[in-house]
Structure 1
Amino acid sequence: MPLAALAKDPADPDLLAEALRPAILRVSRRLRQEASKAGLSALDVLLLVEIKRQPGVGVCDLADGEKMSRPAMSGHVKRLEAAGWISRISDAKDGRRSGLAITEAGLKALAETRRHRNDWLAARLAHLSPEQREALAAAAGPLLALVETQGPEAAR
């Protein structure tokens, strides 16, 4: 059992990874399911957030950022555009180029997704003891650091 092994040496990265991975994966899966209740896939949410963060971003830049082929990204963008969640805008510097912007409907879809996810998570957190919630609060920063820190894969 991963948690029992972790008790022997909580600082061991391999044991910690073995203990955290299943929990993180299951929570992530449930949050994706909640997002789908608002009609968005995990990729939809990711792309809408990126377009909101970078108004005018191009399809190629999105594809490169997500390490996805440009034709595949183009298909996703067309679907988001057809749903009314994004629109194309002219590039002020280069009239031949168009970028992407999130629409009011896209902002509403993101807000609905966030609400579904937060409601699900808050309901589960309410069932935990105060000590368990404190432990999770203390873990929030280090968990974010896992994805924000450049790891060994960045050197490849």
Structure 2
Amino acid sequence: MTAKPAQPVSRPELVEMANDIRLACMRISRRVRFESDQELPPHQFSVLARLEDAPRTNSELADIERVSAPSMKRTTSCLVDAGFVSRADDPLDRRQVILSLTPPGRRAVARVRRHRDEWMLERFATLTEDELALLHRASAVLAKVASK
């Protein structure tokens, strides 16, 4: 049996699909952030995840997260107070402070990710094998869309 060629998608159908996918992704993102774990607010977790890659300054983090420098300083101060982040003077520029993830910070990132994965897996448990296979294929396409 041969596969049928794909039918062209009209512009209105593409617009509707774009809207549906965007809304579904936003809802999933919001729910996984707020319902899967209450240990860390989403903005704090995001900063910890950024520090997992490499130590950074408040300015670098503010640029990456697209927030103001004072807002980032408040966020990182809370994370330092919680023991998830450490501060050190920049050896090249004494005006800067280098922020690094501590071992408890690494454990917190792993714990939040595990809770988020568990939240998603609970939803996957209600899907059929065909739906799971479709999501598997769609995840690669969505990653491609997100990378552009």
Question: TM-score surpassing 0.5?
Answer: yes
Identity of aligned residues (%): 30
The separation in 2 between residues aligned to 1:126 and 1:36, in whole angstroms, is 19
Cα offsets for 1:112-154 (capped at 9, x unmatched): 10111111111211210011001111111221223321xxxxx
Cα offsets for 1:80-102 (capped at 9, x unmatched): 11111101123243344320100
Structure 1 stretches of 4+ moved >4 Å: none
- In structure 2, runs of 5+ residues without a counterpart are 1-6
Return closer, same or farther for 1:146/1:26 CA change in 2, 3 Å cut-off.
same
| Residues matched between the structures, number | 141
Instruction: Give the structure 1 partner of residue 85 of structure 2.
Output: 86
Q: Does 1:70 align with 2:69?
A: yes
Q: Does 1:44 align with 2:44?
A: yes
Bigger Rg, which one: 2
The separation in 2 between residues aligned to 1:107 and 1:35, in whole angstroms, is 18
1:2-151 pair list within 5 angstroms:
9=9, 12-37=13-38, 39-55=39-55, 57-149=56-148
Superposition deviation, residue 45 in structure 1: 1.5
TM-score by length of 1: 0.80
- In structure 1, runs of 5+ residues without a counterpart are 1-6, 150-156
What SS does the corresponding residue of 1:99 show, helix, strand or coil? strand
TM-score by length of 2: 0.84
